[in-house]
């Protein structure tokens, strides 16, 4: 059996993937040295990010090839709107951020750039283009958190960001990430051709670069 599409996409852009998954923001989460102002700014933008990703999964329902894919996208959409956003609000409250703070904040340039790119790929392309653009976030966060748990440099005791790491390294999110990988492969089995692969690699590469810029946006917030 050949490599999954996700693995092929990662292998095609190792520099971009490394810059994203081993970004200074990520490493500072692991050591616990990330300034709190940076993390709070990231949390606000991540909430706004989830709003746009909800729209992406609504688009995925429309673009889906099969009833099963429609149901999967609808479940994900419902999970974001009915569960994940509520959990995010409660998590942010622990960092002194109210729901009003989140919903009244302007979108940062990095947030706009990434989320609109994903939506544009979904609108202009098909469901495989859309899920290729989503993959660095949906699957990548699971990989990042799992790597942080295994990293000897990670501080486990007294790390203010341990709850964030545990959430993405936990069984529930890991199952979601694995399902996203499997769905990408299922879509590829119906739509992927040798002629399409370069364009998908380009989409994945750009989405990965935009993810790194999202980390940098958080890191640049020092006040």
3 has a pLDDT exceeding 90: no
With a CB cutoff of 8 Å and minimum separation 6, the contacts of 201 are 9, 12, 13
Q: Percent of the chain scored above 70 by pLDDT?
A: 98
Q: For the chain, what is the mean pLDDT?
A: 94
How many structural domains comprise the chain?
1
pLDDT digits (tens, 9 = 90+) for 118-165: 999 999 999 999 999 999 999 999 999 999 999 999 999 999 999 999
- The enclosing domain of 143 has a CATH number of 1.20.910.10
Prediction pTM value: 0.93
Closest CA to 73 of 88, 53, 89, 45: 53
Residues designated catalytic = 137, 211
Encode pLDDT of 100-131 as tens digits: 999 999 999 999 999 999 999 999 999 999 99
Q: Which domain holds residue 127?
A: 5-219
At residue 21, does pLDDT exceed 80?
yes
């Amino acid at each position: 059996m050949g490599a999954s599409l996700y693995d092929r996409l990662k292998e095609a852009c190792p520099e971009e993937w490394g810059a994203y998954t081993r970004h200074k923001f990520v490493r500072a989460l692991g050591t616990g040295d990330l300034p709190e102002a940076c993390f709070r700014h990231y949390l606000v933008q991540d909430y706004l990010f989830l709003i746009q990703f909800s729209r992406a999964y609504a688009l995925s329902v429309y673009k889906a090839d099969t009833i099963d894919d429609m149901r999967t996208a609808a479940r994900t959409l419902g999970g974001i709107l009915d569960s994940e956003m509520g959990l995010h609000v409660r998590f942010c409250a622990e960092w002194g951020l109210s729901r009003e703070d989140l919903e009244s904040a302007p979108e940062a340039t990095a947030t706009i750039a990434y989320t609109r790119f994903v939506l544009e790929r979904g609108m202009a392309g098909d469901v495989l283009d859309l899920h290729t653009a989503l993959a660095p976030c949906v699957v990548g966060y699971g990989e990042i958190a799992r790597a942080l748990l295994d990293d000897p440099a990670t501080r486990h005791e007294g790390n203010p960001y341990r709850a964030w790491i545990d959430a993405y390294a936990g069984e529930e999110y890991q199952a979601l990430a694995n399902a996203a990988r499997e769905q990408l492969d299922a879509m590829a089995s119906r739509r992927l051709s040798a002629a399409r692969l370069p364009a998908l690699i380009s989409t994945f590469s750009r989405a990965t670069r935009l993810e790194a810029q999202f980390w940098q946006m958080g890191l640049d917030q020092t006040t």
